[in-house]
Amino acid sequence: MVAFTAGAVLTAANLNTAFNALTFRAVTGTSDTLVLADNGGAVSYSNASAITATVPPFSAVAYANGTVIQLLNLGAGVVTITAGVGVTLNGSVVTLAQNAGGTLIKTATNTWYFLPSVSGGSGMDLITPTSVVGATLSGGQVSYSAATEVDVNGCFTSAYDNYAIVYADTTSATALQTFRLRLAGTNAITSYRYGVGVVTTTAVSFSAGSNSATSGLFHEGSASVRTGGMNIITGPAIAAVTNMTMHYGAVNYLGTGFTTHETATAYDGFAIIPASGTITGTLRVYGLRNS
């Protein structure tokens, strides 16, 4: 839609556009400041890295009260909507994961509200990591074969408080699969604690790790036995203690337990490392919507 100013001429084409289609402004870089022509239209973002979208103050762009701007993130990089100098931006969520969108509405001179679009479904949004090491990435799925370590980067952001990792893999040797949180491509290697219980057809067992261990636990694996499960991580991108609950199973056994990382740091990724041998399988990361 055209943003009209004093002296502008209204044409039939303007009316057709206004009633029949949104005007898109495509952004492929990692930073953007909204412009007057975005009023009544949409801005799409597409980049593998994180993107910052800034709402400018009235002194820089004279938006009228009631201005509405649609935002859509097409790329893997999370879009963070920020307030320019003197701008108040209201909303419980001001970030957009891939394939997410929302609406900016101006209600006063320098006051805006951001309303994220709510999609139906299970309350889980597939997250596409920014990069992986020891694996390949396609459509949000991380695939690995005979890997000694799988690093998943850029999957945790402030867009979600909690996340789920859904996986199925096989370990070449009977060994623990250990877990480490990552920040900016570096593993955190202190202050983990874990405990796990395993139920088989003949026995029940429990084991625990130390507070100063270099790794947490992702799951236990038996040689050449396919194991699948879902691990729920609470607050990995928040500067607080991070907790993970584990639920997994394979032929003739079921495991459940926890891993805690007792450092108040915000992390953006994780690593899975078999204690011995290699791992082959797939995983996906999902953000759990707050509402």
**How far apart (Å, rounded) are the C-alpha atoms in residues 129 and 142?**
9
Is the predicted pLDDT of residue 88 greater than 90, yes or no?
yes
Is the predicted pLDDT of residue 220 greater than 90, yes or no?
no
Domain span at residue 235 reads 124-288
Q: Residue 282: which pLDDT band, with cuts at 50, 70 and 90? A: very high
More confident residue, 251 or 115: 115
- Is residue 92 one of the residues assigned to a domain? yes
Residues 222 and 284 in one domain: yes
**Pairing of β 95-96 and β 88-90:** unpaired
- pLDDT at site 271: 97
Residues 40 and 95 in one domain: yes
| Arithmetic mean of pLDDT, 270-279 | 94
Residues 91 and 195 in one domain: no
Phi and psi dihedrals of 267, rounded to 5?
-115, 160
Query: Could you tell me the CATH number of the domain that includes residue 188?
Result: 2.60.120
- Is residue 6 one of the residues assigned to a domain? no
- Is residue 188 one of the residues assigned to a domain? yes
Average pLDDT, whole number, for the chain? 86
More confident residue, 1 or 236: 236
**How far apart (Å, rounded) are the C-alpha atoms in residues 122 and 46?**
25
**How far apart (Å, rounded) are the C-alpha atoms in residues 79 and 70?**
13
Residues 112 and 140 in one domain: no
CB-based contact 147:85 (threshold 8 Å):
no
Cα 178 to the center of its chain, rounded Å:
22
- Please identify, among 53, 82, 116, the residue that sits at the C-terminal boundary of a domain: 116
- Is residue 1 one of the residues assigned to a domain? no
Residues 112 and 139 in one domain: no
Is the predicted pLDDT of residue 159 greater than 80, yes or no?
no
- Please identify, among 91, 116, 141, the residue that sits at the C-terminal boundary of a domain: 116
- Is residue 4 one of the residues assigned to a domain? no
9-65 confidence digits (pLDDT tens): 777 766 665 555 677 899 999 999 999 999 888 999 999 888 999 999 999 999 999
Tokens representing residue 33 in the block: 């400041």
Residues 129 and 194 in one domain: yes
3-state secondary structure 160-194: CCEEEEEEEEEECCCEEEEEEEEECCEECCCCEEE
**What predicted TM-score, i.e. pTM, was given to this entire model?**
0.63
Q: Residue 120: which pLDDT band, with cuts at 50, 70 and 90? A: very low
- Is residue 3 one of the residues assigned to a domain? no
Query: What are the b/e assignments for 97-120, b being 16+ CB within 10 Å?
Result: bbebbbebbbeeebebebebeeee
Helix (H, G, I), strand (E, B) or coil at 78: coil
Residues 164 and 283 in one domain: yes
Residues 270 and 141 in one domain: yes
CB-based contact 45:75 (threshold 8 Å):
yes
Strand segments, DSSP code E, in 56-174 are: 68-73, 79-83, 88-90, 95-96, 101-108, 111-116, 124-127, 131-133, 136-138, 141-147, 150-153, 162-171
More confident residue, 217 or 291: 217
Residues 109 and 187 in one domain: no
More confident residue, 24 or 210: 24
Q: Residue 240: which pLDDT band, with cuts at 50, 70 and 90? A: very high
Residues 105 and 173 in one domain: no
**Pairing of β 131-133 and β 150-153:** antiparallel
- Is residue 168 one of the residues assigned to a domain? yes
- Please identify, among 116, 138, 170, the residue that sits at the C-terminal boundary of a domain: 116
How many domains would you assign to the chain? 2
Tell me which of 53-57, 88-92, 93-97 is least confident.
93-97
All residues at 6 or more sequence positions from 290 whose CB lies less than 8 Å from its CB, including other chains: 92, 93, 160, 161
| Arithmetic mean of pLDDT, 99-105 | 89
* HSE value, Cβ hemisphere, 13 Å, CA-based, for 192: 21
Residues 23 and 151 in one domain: no
Is the predicted pLDDT of residue 172 greater than 80, yes or no?
yes
Tokens representing residue 120 in the block: 């139906």
- pLDDT at site 178: 92
- Is residue 244 one of the residues assigned to a domain? yes
- pLDDT at site 52: 92
Residues 59 and 161 in one domain: no
Is the predicted pLDDT of residue 208 greater than 70, yes or no?
no
